[in-house]
Structure 1
Amino acid sequence: MKTIDKIYINGAFVTPHGQEMFDLINPATNQLIGQVRLGDETDAQLAIASAKEAFKTFSQSSRTTRIKYLQKLHDALHKRIDDLSAATIEEYGAPVSRAKASTEMALAAFLHAQEVLYDFEFERKAGRSQVRMEPLGVVGIITPWNANANYICGKLATAISAGCTVVIKPSEMSALQTQVVLEAFHEAGLPAGIFNIVNGLGNVVGAELTRHPDVAKISFTGSTAVGKTIARAAVDTMKRVTLELGGKSPNIILDDADLSTAIPMAVAAGFMNSGQACIAGTRLLVPETRFDEVKELLKHAVAATKVGDPTDANTAIGPMVSVKQYERVQSYIQSGIEQGAEVLAGGPGHPEGLEGGNFVKPTVFANVTPDMKIAREEIFGPVISVLTYKTEEEAIAMANDTTYGLAAYVSSTNEARAWKVAEQIVAGRVMVNSLQHDPMAPFGGFKQSGIGREYGTFGLEEYVEPKTIIKG
């Protein structure tokens, strides 16, 4: 069993003031694999003070220096990439393929940040005036358990590019992953105080970051409910916020789509990251005229999707992260049944032979209506709701009939037609005939899916403030 009893403040591993221990559980077996000692408000305050002091000099650093630091972080983490993948599998239950993809994305974040930084305009002209894009200050970073290391690296890389210092509050459920990342970052040898990491609870360490007057910005990825709490608290000190929140992403299959390609892609979109993904395409909108074809193809696609041991290279869906999350998903599956949806695949309970972990049967509901709970609320598990439409206009209206607006998907053999549909969907990202990610393009939500953007130039703009100097 592993014990993590240090946090990282001012360039050193230190014993936290907080005393609480948090159990780390392998979700595939529900066995105890470690404990982490959690920091408290005092620890957060010390970390903030460290970042504030470091900001005085780091904010004045050159583009060249920041690019060098990003390279150092990349190179140090690259040496530990296998350790990070192993921790992601053990602690989170990510299947091997998902764990590798996630860790590679975390590593690449530093290179993408360098690419943006090379060309970013920190000095601009506006009318007769000079505009300086200046770093905001200390940034509080709060990351989720479904992609903890990925978000630590992405948000930290952007902050460093801007010249900001940070205090990171990672998910307490991801402490093994955080420890690997932290040990690598320490080896990178950056000046003390540029980054500080405090394991702790959201309502303790996260709350202190949100209310502390010396924190200029919060970058948070997580649920819409918590995002709203952060936004309310941040207003008191007028913090800038980037909030990447929940989603209930529609996937429109147009009537001319090649179903042999579109349906397996739809299942992959709905079940990505074992369904524990904010961009998962969990509302599948299909033409009424092709409903029978779709149902048969869905049955075959789900049957071919392996659920089980995350260390098995053939596994596509691992366990839910916790018993609590397993029970949440089960409650939604039961709700779908009670409200009259047809269970096309899966259903309640564990898959046979996987009763010891938090495994869910990958589930597809047919004959879902827009008013059903499973069609409106984010489940965060491998559950797809199939709704039918009569016309393209109805499909677009159904896609937009949600409080969320993070991502969407469109499939069609006519790319021009799909593009026209994509332009009418209210979402931060729309993928046409694709599940691809573009790390240079902005990512974030409309409506209750968030505020602000991550990635690329748009993401870096979130960490700087324009100062106008008017010449006489």
Structure 2
Amino acid sequence: MSTGTETVGARAAADASLGADPTRSLWQRDAAFIDGSWRIAAQTDEIEDPATRQAFGRSARCDDGTVEAAVRAARTAFDPWAARDRPDRLAVLRRWQSEVELRREMLVEATVLEVGAPVDVAREAHVDLALEIMRTTLDELEGPEPVERIGNSIIVREPVGVVASITPWNYPFYQLVLKAVAAVAAGCTVVAKPAELTPLSAYLLADAAEAAQLPRGVFNLVPGRGDEVGERLVTHPEVDLVSFTGSTAVGAHVAAAAAATIKRVCLELGGKSASVVLDGADLATAVRTTVDMAMLNSGQTCSAWTRLLVPVARLEEAVELAVEHTGALEVGDPTRPGVALGPLASARQQAQVEGMVARARAGGARVLGARPVPDRGYFHPPLIVTDVDEDDEIVRDEVFGPVLVVLGHGGDDDAARLANDSDYGLAGAVWAADTETGVAFARRLRTGQVDVNGAAFNVHAPFGGFKKSGYGRELGRYGLEEFTEIKSIQV
């Protein structure tokens, strides 16, 4: 499966212009990137296209020896890289940025193939947003190093050291940019472990690092399995910080395993975000936007607004609007422009979503919007679920699929209670008659990020969670500071 003859042709031309080895398929990879060069792995794993259920590529399956070599390379590279001044570091990283941007269409194709994201979603939400974040992260290095004085103390921030960047399968390139690029920009060195389902965009980032002549050992890539490569990185005594995005259950294990070596951990985990519609808000706009956010990336988005809370008197109206808008979302071949939802990422993910929906239906919930979808891949229709109790599984737990739950609330206090009655606190939305009312309500929500009346995503603002959604922040200045230590110098 490809993204069409034009994209394949563009990729072939790009391969030639970027000096790619014409004897090697772009998606057949068998090596780790360590200390500025490629090291062949003893084993490889197949990469599956979730839209066809067919293997289309391979990736290295690294072992303990490979991890040791990568961590050793990162440790050796750390002191000279951290010692470079900002302008020098920035000049090197701008070359990396340029090489990554040259691979834009290849990154789009990789995302369509390994994630199953529709080509429009892959380009806009996965690749172009990540490229913007890479640019703005490097922009943070413009100007002098910030120095603060408190009395007779000089307060400085210094790079934390070797960072293990462990990324998920749902937004593989985006998440790797958030972690690895910010860590390297802060003066750290990185060992990156992409999800075993979706490692190929990480290979493209490593290709760009090699082409940009990033100093040896600054960025290392060790694909493999979480219980092998990931576990070794988390427990390795020479890794100073682990930045992990994934499920809450695995995040808890990461935090516990890292504690043995007293290393810092940044966790971006699950979510069950509420989109709250208050009296006087534009219901139609709120519902349409919430449906779009809930279904983005086939619902496989940790910050998706998956609970829609509306005034109880307008519950049926909201449900009808949601079902109507959901019905307009095309599900199908992710290579076709205009398709809104592609497949889920794996058979396991499909089974999880189907199981939660089936249990909700058996418990008396109304499940609306079901329609035929392609049966070749791991497709699932976008659904609206209502007539549920606030303690039901589908209300409280992360589905991670194209499912929106709609509940009624009895006013502002009840809406705040329902929104906060969750183990999670990653994101959310408020829809109000005016901005002042919306902001006041947003301050009542125990969540890391809240959009008021459909406000635009801000790549400079910090992103991260409360409660079981994790801790630590990504993006902008706060994202860079996550990879630093604070030192006080008395004078």
Partner residue in 2 for 1:90:
113
Partner residue in 1 for 2:32:
7
Structure 2 residue corresponding to 1:434, chosen from 447, 454, 467: 454
Partners of 1:455 and 1:297 in 2: how far apart? Answer: 34
Residue 337 of structure 1: CA displacement? 0.5
- Contact 1:70/1:110 (<8 A) preserved: no
- Contact 1:323/1:358 (<8 A) preserved: yes
Partners of 1:63 and 1:443 in 2: how far apart? Answer: 24
- Contact 2:87/2:141 (<8 A) preserved: no
- Contact 1:4/1:175 (<8 A) preserved: no
Partner residue in 2 for 1:269:
293
Structure 2 residue corresponding to 1:48, chosen from 36, 49, 71: 71
Structure 2 residue corresponding to 1:215, chosen from 236, 239, 248: 239
- Contact 1:363/1:382 (<8 A) preserved: yes
Structure 1 residue corresponding to 2:55, chosen from 32, 47, 54: 32
Residue 435 of structure 1: CA displacement? 5.8
Partner residue in 1 for 2:407:
387
- Contact 1:221/1:245 (<8 A) preserved: yes
Residues 168-220 of structure 1, C-alpha deviation per residue, up to 9 Å, x if partnerless? 00111112222222212211111100000000111111111111111100011
Residue 301 of structure 1: CA displacement? 0.3
Partner residue in 1 for 2:384:
364
Partners of 1:154 and 1:286 in 2: how far apart? Answer: 34
SS state of the match for residue 474, structure 2?
coil
Partners of 1:367 and 1:244 in 2: how far apart? Answer: 31
- Contact 2:166/2:242 (<8 A) preserved: yes
SS state of the match for residue 450, structure 2?
strand
Describe the shift of the 1:353–1:274 C-alpha distance in structure 2 as closer, same or farther (beyond 3 A): closer
Structure 2 residue corresponding to 1:163, chosen from 187, 190, 193: 187
Structure 2 residue corresponding to 1:284, chosen from 288, 292, 308: 308
Deviates more, 1:362-371 or 1:118-127: 118-127
Partners of 2:300 and 2:221 in 1: how far apart? Answer: 25
Superposed, 1:271-350 pairs within 5 Å as 271-346=295-370
Residue 363 of structure 1: CA displacement? 0.8
Structure 2: which 5+ runs fail to align?
A: 1-24
SS state of the match for residue 317, structure 1?
coil
Residue 96 of structure 1: CA displacement? 1.3
SS state of the match for residue 177, structure 1?
helix
Partners of 1:317 and 1:428 in 2: how far apart? Answer: 27
SS state of the match for residue 250, structure 1?
strand
Partners of 1:321 and 1:359 in 2: how far apart? Answer: 9
SS state of the match for residue 168, structure 2?
coil
Residues 126-151 of structure 1, C-alpha deviation per residue, up to 9 Å, x if partnerless? 22012221111100000111111111
- Contact 1:271/1:381 (<8 A) preserved: yes
Residues 45-95 of structure 1, C-alpha deviation per residue, up to 9 Å, x if partnerless? 110000000002001011001211221111001111001101111111001
Deviates more, 1:115-124 or 1:204-213: 115-124
SS state of the match for residue 419, structure 1?
helix
Residues 22-51 of structure 1, C-alpha deviation per residue, up to 9 Å, x if partnerless? 221110111111222200111111100000
SS state of the match for residue 29, structure 1?
coil
Amino acid at match of 2:121: R
Partners of 1:292 and 1:273 in 2: how far apart? Answer: 27
Amino acid at match of 1:76: E
Amino acid at match of 2:92: Y
Describe the shift of the 1:353–1:385 C-alpha distance in structure 2 as closer, same or farther (beyond 3 A): closer
Deviates more, 1:33-42 or 1:139-148: 33-42
Partners of 1:184 and 1:121 in 2: how far apart? Answer: 27
- Contact 1:8/1:197 (<8 A) preserved: yes
Partners of 2:200 and 2:482 in 1: how far apart? Answer: 29
Mapped pair 1:76 → 2:99: yes
Residue 436 of structure 1: CA displacement? 2.6
Amino acid at match of 2:487: K
Describe the shift of the 1:353–1:223 C-alpha distance in structure 2 as closer, same or farther (beyond 3 A): closer
Superposed, 1:378-417 pairs within 5 Å as 378-417=398-437
Residue 427 of structure 1: CA displacement? 0.3
Structure 2 residue corresponding to 1:450, chosen from 449, 460, 470: 470
Partners of 1:179 and 1:93 in 2: how far apart? Answer: 18
Partners of 2:407 and 2:35 in 1: how far apart? Answer: 53
- Contact 2:312/2:409 (<8 A) preserved: yes
SS state of the match for residue 4, structure 1?
coil
Partners of 1:136 and 1:258 in 2: how far apart? Answer: 46
Partner residue in 2 for 1:206:
230
Residue 121 of structure 1: CA displacement? 4.2
Superposed, 1:139-218 pairs within 5 Å as 139-218=163-242
Partners of 2:481 and 2:346 in 1: how far apart? Answer: 36
Describe the shift of the 1:251–1:126 C-alpha distance in structure 2 as closer, same or farther (beyond 3 A): same
Amino acid at match of 1:81: R
- Contact 1:262/1:411 (<8 A) preserved: yes
Residues 274-318 of structure 1, C-alpha deviation per residue, up to 9 Å, x if partnerless? 100000100111111111211221121011111111111111111
- Contact 1:70/1:111 (<8 A) preserved: no
Partners of 1:61 and 1:238 in 2: how far apart? Answer: 27
Amino acid at match of 2:233: L
How many residue pairs match? The answer is 465
Residue 254 of structure 1: CA displacement? 1.4
Residues 393-414 of structure 1, C-alpha deviation per residue, up to 9 Å, x if partnerless? 1011000000100001111232
Amino acid at match of 2:156: R
Partner residue in 2 for 1:60:
83
Structure 1: which 5+ runs fail to align?
A: none
Residue 167 of structure 1: CA displacement? 0.3
Residue 255 of structure 1: CA displacement? 2.2
Superposed, 1:238-253 pairs within 5 Å as 238-253=262-277
Q: Percent identity?
A: 39
Deviates more, 1:388-397 or 1:150-159: 150-159
